[in-house]
Every structure is written in C-alpha cells, then in structure tokens.
Amino acid sequence: METTNIDRARDLIIRARSVFVLTGAGISAESGIPTFRGTDGLWKNYSTTDLATPEAFKNNPTLVWEWYHWRQRIISQAQPNPAHQAIVQLEKHAERFLLLTQNVDGLHVRAGSKNVLELHGNIFRARCLLCGATLRHLPPDTEQESDLPRCTCGGLLRPDVVWFGETIPQDIWHTALTFLTKTEVAIICGTSGVVWPAASIPEIARHEGIATIEVNLEPTGISTMVDVSIQGKAGKLLPQLLHN
C-alpha cells in the first residue's frame, strides 16, 4: 500500500519523544475567527498601519480599541475546535512538549494546552503605558464605547499584543528556540509563515536536522522547506495524525 504524507507525519510524531508545535491564525479559522491573510483575511479589509502599529494607537487610540474590542467579542463567542484539542492530546502523549502560538485568541489555553507560549501577546490582556502593569481586559458591555480604558494609576491602557514595528518578548523567543533546537519533531500549523521571527522557525528546524511537518489549507512558502507538507483543514488533519 502507498505511504501517504499523513502516514509519514504520523510515524514521525509517534516515534518522537519531544514535540514542538508552531501555530498561526489558520488553527482558529474553524472556530470562526478570521485569519489575517487570504481572501477573507482581516488585512484585506483593515489596514495594519491604521490599527496594528504603535503610531496607529498614538494617532487614534479610540479606533484601535474599537477594533480590538470587536475582535475580543468574536473570540469570546468562539470555542476551541478539534485542531486545538488534537494539540492537547499531543502534549499529553509527548515526553517533552512546547507549543508556540502567534495567536492572541487564547484558544489553546481554553482547550487545555499547558505548555503554551504566546509570541504575539493576548487580546484579553491590556498594558498600561504609564506604569507598565498588565491586566485582564474584556470588552465593555455595550458597543457604544465612550472613554478609553485606563489603568488604576490613571495611565492609558493599550492591548497587550505585539504590533508591527515592535519587538516580540525576548524571553519567550529564547525559551522557544532553546526547546526547538533540542526537539525531534516540529509541527507548523495554520500559518502563512510570512511574519518574523516565527517565519524563521522552519528554516532553523531544518538547519538543526529536526523532522518538520506542515499542516495548512494550502501550500505556503514553508511547504518546500519541510519534510512533510499536508494540505487540508487543521481540524480534520491534526486529529488524524494522532490516530492509527
């Protein structure tokens, strides 16, 4: 019988004692959360320069907060899908496991993943521009927002996410790289692989001789770089990779 890419990927995963996973917006697509690129992607209808840079926030914090509160509402109503759940199972069965996500939606944690690092922050967290405190921040009850969110110290709060032009949390990146370079398998799922530094992970893994598996709806710039590339929905494919 012909060995399929799913068989090859499953085999690599079953034999690995240590598994690293990188996820992007595609893993939450089946939960109803829009991705960023592609036909229905957020960046088709919204401008990164108006909404996702420190300058955008400085110029129009009300507009930026409105957009983040809108996204928070969508995410609050979403549920983790079978792809998130498959990653929880993967963690339970691996001796060593690390999940690095570019997603700010918190769905991996809600699904039950434990060893998760959020590279781009979390949409339900805010950070004070004055005192630097971080706190949980939920959208106001009504969509008619009046005042900008403020910290108890009086400082203006901003979403605690990484915007374009900002550096990612160095401690998280360092921990992820340390794990990655010692792992046996790296699974890259639901990311277009164009935003750095996450985009460098397949290349680093390949350089280290780590077995790499991509799961994505369509071929990406990563597809030719990995050992096994599988196209389809993550919610269908990831559970298949874990079962014989």
* Binding residues vs ligand OAD (CB under 6 A): 24-26, 29-30, 35-38, 41, 52, 102, 120, 162, 190-192, 195, 216-218, 220, 233-234
List the beta bridge partners of residue 20: 98, 186
Q: Which residue, 123 or 185, has its beta carbon nearer to ligand OAD?
A: 123
Find the shortest distance in angstroms from Cβ 84 to ligand OAD. Answer: 11
Find the shortest distance in angstroms from Cβ 207 to ligand OAD. Answer: 21
Angle separating helix axes 234-242 and 5-15, nearest 10 degrees: 50
**What string of DSSP letters covers 184-208?**
SEEEEES--S-STTGGGHHHHHHHT
**What's the one-letter identity of residue 74?**
I
- Catalytic annotation, pick one of 69, 84, 108, 120: 120
Find the shortest distance in angstroms from Cβ 102 to ligand OAD. Answer: 4
Q: Which residue, 96 or 242, has its beta carbon nearer to ligand OAD?
A: 242
Find the shortest distance in angstroms from Cβ 205 to ligand OAD. Answer: 16
Q: Which residue, 38 or 155, has its beta carbon nearer to ligand OAD?
A: 38
Strand order in the sheet with 185-189: 116-118, 96-101, 18-23, 185-189, 211-216, 228-231
User: Positive or negative, the Cα torsion across 42, 46, 52, 57?
Assistant: negative
Active site residue 243: no
Q: Which residue, 122 or 183, has its beta carbon nearer to ligand OAD?
A: 122
The residue nearest ligand OAD at its CB is 26
Instruction: In the chain, count H helices and then E strands.
Output: 10, 9
Q: Which residue, 46 or 96, has its beta carbon nearer to ligand OAD?
A: 46
Find the shortest distance in angstroms from Cβ 237 to ligand OAD. Answer: 7
Residue 187 to residue 102: CA distance in whole angstroms? 14
Left, alpha or beta for 209 (phi > 0: left; psi -120 to 50: alpha)?
A: left
The set of catalytic residues is 120
